[in-house]
Structure formats: structure tokens, C-alpha cells
Amino acid sequence: MAVKIVTILGSTGSVGTQTLDILAENLDRYHVRALVGGRNIALLAEQARLFRPELTVVAEESLLEDLRAALAGSNLACASGRAAVIEAAAMPVDWTMSAITGVIGLEPTLAAVRHGGTIAFANKEALVSAGDVFLRAVSEHGATLLPVDSEHNAVMQAMADNNLHAVEKIVLTASGGPFRKLSYEEMRAITPEAALRHPVWSMGAKISIDSATMMNKGLEVIEAARLFSLTSEQIEVVVHPQSVIHGLAYYTDGSVLAQLGAPDMRIPIAHSLAWPQRLATKAPRLNLAEVAKLEFFPPDEECFPALRVAREALLAGAGAPTVLNAANEVAVAAFLARKIGFLDIVSIVESVLTQLGAPPVLDLAAVLALDNAARDAATRLTAAKAA
Amino acid sequence: MAVKIVTILGSTGSVGTQTLDILAENLDRYHVRALVGGRNIALLAEQARLFRPELTVVAEESLLEDLRAALAGSNLACASGRAAVIEAAAMPVDWTMSAITGVIGLEPTLAAVRHGGTIAFANKEALVSAGDVFLRAVSEHGATLLPVDSEHNAVMQAMADNNLHAVEKIVLTASGGPFRKLSYEEMRAITPEAALRHPVWSMGAKISIDSATMMNKGLEVIEAARLFSLTSEQIEVVVHPQSVIHGLAYYTDGSVLAQLGAPDMRIPIAHSLAWPQRLATKAPRLNLAEVAKLEFFPPDEECFPALRVAREALLAGAGAPTVLNAANEVAVAAFLARKIGFLDIVSIVESVLTQLGAPPVLDLAAVLALDNAARDAATRLTAAKAA
């Protein structure tokens, strides 16, 4: 197996660190060309010293001196700021992990797409927000998108027999989040601390809150529609608290293929890293007799309106998913900052969608402009709630 | 899609009739070259009139006149007897359904293997009994074996991403049969009627009894070892009463792929018929929220010693599986004829294995001679129990 040259966008986040954990066990097979990290300079420097990339970048402009200091004596090149992030992403590699959360990851991911390699895709916001613009770039540059989201990675694995035209529908499973058993009224008092405690998955803050509102599943329905060219009706969501079956593909002959596994992100990351081959990992192995019971429920769309709102945005098309995603990013941040309540998150998203509708977004500039407009609208609504 | 020429060995049995059901809905895609049926002459003649094969054969020599009478005026060729069965199987076709239950199906299946087409394989006894001899013929003639047994078909589908070297182990699920909750002592009084009432699958008599003793799962472990080149330790059995997940493949990265579906044999049959493509069927679709709960238990090897006995035969190798299968066929027939009790089935099999051991079986003649010797030994033990 030839050595694969890789870049990690978002190396200090949850997916980024788990990606590097796998790479650390396979140093003979992978070479890291660039690392792009967040605010955790100590961790980013430690990663750089271990993997010795050609370029280490911190997104935050003001942290360059800290990074330089942390890399003192290592003889490693570093840079900071938005332009440097995009420059790092644009360095040709075989494989890029796109794991910068939120629309902020869109431009770096597009820079990676333009060199036509394989993009392991953990940034669903970019695909939801930029939709057609993003997929057009992927197709123009001959890049390969591999989903890292456990559900989409599962569906991709369930489609490995290459009979895509024979797929009737797919199912994305949802753990149901920490508040599966609460009534709508009981959700009013949910705190950020409670919402961050996901019962099954260990994840970043944004996605943990999205799981708690089930907006995460809504974004995933839109992501799946893009990735697999399916309609909203072909993408079912089933609540499955044990999170053992991650995704399923239903075929016209009655067969259903599924990917299962322990809820450990190293599994889909390793799949996307080695694809189309496989890599050994130390991830825990599924023991069915120990799990003993797998349960499935229809999602409760009254308690979790996010799923309905996201499907409406998908059906509206054009810029509606851009608006949905931007408003949600603002609302989640406001909830984490204790400016709004838990139930306000989705109600703000729905209000912004009503305000802005589904204007056309034909290029990246239009996407970013609409994203900004939605953020402004969401920020105003947030301030009104907080007042 | 070019028209596929197919032959059905065992057309009047459970798998045979379900295969023809699917073919009847796809008459533009498939042409039936030969039908080989059992004693049900009325059904065989009806099938022949619908599919108009070049040759219709009844295995039982004495039934030729009945078949001729039933086909009167149809202008369809027919024949009877063992030689005619093998002649029909030897007619070159693209695809053969091998669904004659028991070792009696071995020679016709080998005749089909010799023309190098695709063999959809529902006759596990032949593979268990003839093992190496059978697989050597498959490899020499460039034939393709596709398992139709729902568990093996599931595992094959779960291996569709072509990373066989990265498969750590597989799991075959077992419904546990109708007596899953009985104690060993309570099993003593089980009647053929009770044993034939399988809780989930609708199947022939032999396999229903094998499911009740769990010898079916034992034979499947041996079949899986042959088909997928795995050791006994790499083939796990998990009791799963809902029979929704049929088989799973565990990969070195922690991913587990599985095939699920309603317990309907048309699903694996359609898979093997259309492979590597897919065919639409009217088989019921899996509804996870309706199923609601999937359970998994380790198999109870004290109550169901068949699994242990089969694994011991697999480990002993050489002719031990031949002996296991032959003794089991005799004992099941004796149980159905009320000559022995339910618990006697496996105990006779184990005694015959102890008597005959694992002599080498290097060619078909040796397999058939050992098969005969085991049948004689089992018949003697059966008579002793009955006395």
C-alpha cells in the first residue's frame, strides 16, 4: 500500500483528534501534509511535533505568536488566519479530513475539493448550506466525497454492492438524544449542561446540542439527500436509542443492508481513511449478545419539530437549507451562551425561514450572503428573546 | 439486460416454488431450460406448462407415466429417474438453482458445476457432506457459488465491499426454533407436528426439524466455513428470535455489515437470481418501527447440543461432516416417522460420529461410500431405539 498524503482541517476538534489517533497507529501508511487547528494551541503544537506536517495553521489570527512559541525549536512552519487556512487546504493531498464545524469550514473544504482528491466529510453544515454549489465543485474537479457522519458513512457502506438504482429508501437512525422521554413542556427548562451530556456519543458542543433538539437529524436528512441523490420521502428517520445500527439501505428485492458498530467515531473515520480498503482499529467491537436488545421508535415530531422544519427547508430547496443552517448555528451559540432557552432554538430557526424563504443561491458568494442575512435575522430574534 | 437461461433442481419444493414465483414475474428476463421436481406431479406439470422448459424431469422413476399424462397435449419433453436428473442438470445454463434437499442433490449439483455457470445454492447438505470434493469441482470448472440460505446470503451481501481479508469474523443468527424456551427434559416429548411448526420461517420438513434441534445452525456453521474459508472460531452463532438480521460480517476497523429483511426466502432467492444486479420483488418490506425490538442471546449449547456436535465434526475435518450430515438425515427421517424421539436425533448423530470418526474422503466415490456407511450405522441405532 502506497503512503497516503493527508491533511486534517479541524485537527484539534473531536473528529480531528480521533483521526490523528488512528494515523498515529499507522505512521508507515500515512503522511500528514498540513494541520489546521482551533484555539487549543498546546494540543495543536503537540500534534505538529508528532506528525511533522509541512504547515501547521491556527485559524485565529491573534494566536500565531502563541503557536510559534509552542513550536519553538521544532523547525516546523506555521501560519494563522483565514487565508492561511485556505492555503493549507489547497495543498494537494490524497485525502483531506474536513472537520471544521459550521459554515466556516465551507471555503477551506472547497479549496480541498479543487485539488480533486478524496474529501472525508465531517462538516455537514457546509454540504447543507452550500448544497448545489458544493456538489458542482466536487463534480467539476473530480473529487471524491466520503461521508464521516456515522449515519451517512453507514449508508455508504450499505450501498457497497453498487446497485444504487435499486435503493428504494434509506433509514438514518437517531439515538433520540438526552431528552427522548421528556414532554415538550418539560424541555423548556433544559440547560446547556444537560443538553451537552449525550447519552451515547462523545462529540463536540455544536453537534451535541443539535442532537438534543434533533436538528442534527434534520441536517442529516438534507445531507443524505445531497450525498445520495434521494428525495425527502426516501430518507426515513428511526429513533434507535442503542445507536448500534447507524444507517440502512433498502433494496427493491426486499434486502436491507446496514452498518452496525459501537458508537465510536474512529470506526467511520477509519473507513473513510482506508476506503476502498479497510484498516485495523482498536475501536471496541460490537457484541450483540451483550447489547441484548435493539429498539426502534418512530420519531416524535411534536416534541422535536426540528425534523419537520428541516424537511420543509429541503422541500423548499434553493437557499432554504442555507438559511436553516445559519439560523441554527446562531441559535445554538445563543443557547450555549444562556441567552435563549432550549425550545427557542428551533422556533428561531423556523421564524428566520419564514422571514427569508428560499431565495436562489447560484454561487458561493450568494450562499455566503444568504448565510449572513440569516445570521443577522437570527441574531435579532435572539436578542428579542433575551430582552 | 440479456435473458438469463436457468434450470431449477427441486422445482416443487419450498425454495423451488418460490424461485418460480419470482421468475413468473420476470418472464422477459429469464428462460427456464430444465425443471427437476419431486413427487408432486400435478405441481410439476403446472410449472412446466407455464415455463415451457426444454426438459421436465421427475426424480422418481415410477412417476414417468403420471408426468406424461399430466403433460398430455403440451408438446413438452419429459423424463424420469436419477440419470435424467443429472442429464437435466448438465444442460448448460447461466444459472442453476440447486434446491434438492439432502445428499441426493449432490450429484445433480456437481453436474451443474461442471458446465461452469452460476449455482444458487440452497442444498447445504451437499456442501457439508462433500466439502473439499465439491469446492475443488467448483474451482476447476470456474463455477460461481451463490448461497441462498438466508444466513449465508446475508453474509455474502455483508461482504460486498470486497475486503474479505479484513473480515475478522461472521455471525449467523438463529431464530432458536420453536423450542427455544424449553428445558432439555421438556424436549423429550416433542412430536413431529410440534417440531414442524417453525415460529418464523415457512420451510420444508427436513430443515424445519433441523431448526428445532439447531442442527440446521450446526450445518450452517460448516457451510459457512467452506463458503467463506473461515475457521469455526470465526463463525459465531447468536440467537435472534425475530429473525430480522440474518447474518453479519465484522471488519477489522470495527464496522459490522449486516443484511436484514423480512423472513421471506424470496429475498435471498431474488438476490442470487439477479446478482450482481438486483431485481424487484413483492416480498414484504422490513418496518423497523413496527418490529420495535430486536433481541440477541448466546445459544444454549446444553439444551441444543447439535451446535457443539457440528463444530466438533468441522474441527475433526476429513469425512466427519459427511458422517454428521448422513446420520442426521437418517435420524430426522426416523423422527418424522415416529420411530425415535426428538432428543434421539442428535444423540444418534453423535454416536455415529464416535463410531466412524473422520476418515479421509478424497473423491466423490469416497464421500458417497462414507455417506452410506453412516446411514447404515444410523439406521441400526434408530432401530435399536425404536425396539
- pTM for this prediction: 0.95
The residue type found at B298 is P
Q: What is the CATH number of the domain that holds B31?
A: 3.40.50.720
**Can you tell me the distance from the alpha carbon of B348 to that of B342, in angstroms, rounded to the nearest whole number?**
11
Q: How many domains does chain A have?
A: 3
pLDDT of residue B248: 98
Q: Report how many Cβ contacts below 8 Å link chain A to chain B.
A: 164
Best B288, B293, B297, B301 member to test A by mutation, with max A CBs in 10 Å, is B288
pLDDT of residue B202: 66
Residues of A within 8 A of B288 (CB-CB) are 171, 238, 240, 248, 296
Edge-to-edge order in the sheet of strand B4-9: B78-80, B55-58, B30-37, B4-9, B95-98, B118-121, B144-147
B333 is written with which cell numbers?
427421517
Cβ separation A255–B274 shorter than 8 A: no
Q: Is the pLDDT of residue A236 over 90?
A: yes
Query: Do B68 and B9 share a structural domain?
Result: yes
Query: Do B237 and B167 share a structural domain?
Result: yes
Cβ separation B278–A163 shorter than 8 A: yes
Query: Do B357 and B330 share a structural domain?
Result: yes
pLDDT of residue A124: 87
**Can you tell me the distance from the alpha carbon of A360 to that of A234, in angstroms, rounded to the nearest whole number?**
24
Candidate from A252, A257, A283 with C-beta closest to B254: A283
Query: Do A180 and A124 share a structural domain?
Result: no
Domain extent, residue A219, equals: 148-311
**Can you tell me the distance from the alpha carbon of B215 to that of B325, in angstroms, rounded to the nearest whole number?**
9
Query: Do B330 and B244 share a structural domain?
Result: no
| B279: closest chain A residue by CA | A253
Query: Do A343 and A238 share a structural domain?
Result: no
Going residue by residue through chain B, which has 387 residues, state the pLDDT in tens, using 9 for 90 and above. 689 999 999 999 999 999 999 999 999 999 999 999 999 999 999 999 999 999 999 999 999 999 999 999 999 999 999 999 999 999 999 999 999 987 889 999 999 999 999 999 998 888 999 989 999 999 999 999 999 999 999 999 999 988 999 999 999 999 988 888 899 999 999 999 998 887 666 678 888 999 999 999 999 999 999 999 999 999 999 999 999 999 999 999 999 999 999 999 999 999 999 999 999 999 999 999 999 999 999 999 888 999 999 999 999 999 999 999 999 999 999 999 999 999 999 999 999 999 999 999 999 999 999 999 999 999 999 999 877
Return the axis-axis angle of helices A342-356 and A320-336, rounded to nearest 10°. Answer: 150
Q: Higher-confidence residue: A303 or A91?
A: A91
Beta-carbon neighbour count of residue B86 at 10 Å?
18
Cβ separation B255–A261 shorter than 8 A: yes
Best A256, A271, A286 member to test B by mutation, with max B CBs in 10 Å, is A256
Query: Do B334 and B287 share a structural domain?
Result: no
Best A156, A168, A237, A253 member to test B by mutation, with max B CBs in 10 Å, is A253
Candidate from A157, A255, A294 with C-beta closest to B294: A294
Write phi, then psi, for B163 (nearest 5 degrees).
-120, 55
Residue that terminates a domain, selected from A311, A336, A351: A311
Query: Do A387 and A300 share a structural domain?
Result: no
Where in chain A does DSSP place strands (E)? 4-9, 30-37, 55-58, 78-80, 95-98, 118-121, 144-147, 167-174, 235-239, 245-251, 256-260, 293-295
**B331: Cβ contacts below 8 Å, ≥ 6 apart:** B340, B344, B345, B346, B348, B349, B378, B382
Cβ separation B254–A270 shorter than 8 A: yes
Q: Is the pLDDT of residue A285 over 70?
A: yes
Q: Among candidates A304, A301, A296, which has minimal Cα distance to A190?
A: A304
Query: Do B163 and B257 share a structural domain?
Result: yes
Cβ separation A280–B253 shorter than 8 A: yes
pLDDT of residue B199: 67
Query: Do A153 and A101 share a structural domain?
Result: no
Q: Please check whether residue B172 is in contact with residue B235, taking contact to mean a CB–CB distance below 8 angstroms.
A: yes
**Can you tell me the distance from the alpha carbon of B50 to that of B20, in angstroms, rounded to the nearest whole number?**
10
Cβ separation B255–A276 shorter than 8 A: no
Query: Do A276 and A171 share a structural domain?
Result: yes
Q: How far A158 CA sits from the closest chain B CA (Å)?
A: 7
Q: Is the pLDDT of residue A122 over 70?
A: yes
Q: How far B239 CA sits from the closest chain A CA (Å)?
A: 8
Residue that terminates a domain, selected from A88, A123, A147: A147
Q: What is the CATH number of the domain that holds A359?
A: 1.10.1740.10
Residues of B within 8 A of A157 (CB-CB) are 161, 255, 257
Identify the three-state secondary structure at position B37.
strand
Write phi, then psi, for A119 (nearest 5 degrees).
-115, 110
Q: Is the pLDDT of residue A38 over 70?
A: yes
Residues of A within 8 A of B238 (CB-CB) are 288-289
Query: Do B181 and B131 share a structural domain?
Result: no
Task: Give the mean model confidence (pLDDT) for residues A196-212.
Answer: 82
A298 — pLDDT class (breaks 50, 70, 90): very high
Residue that terminates a domain, selected from A262, A289, A311: A311
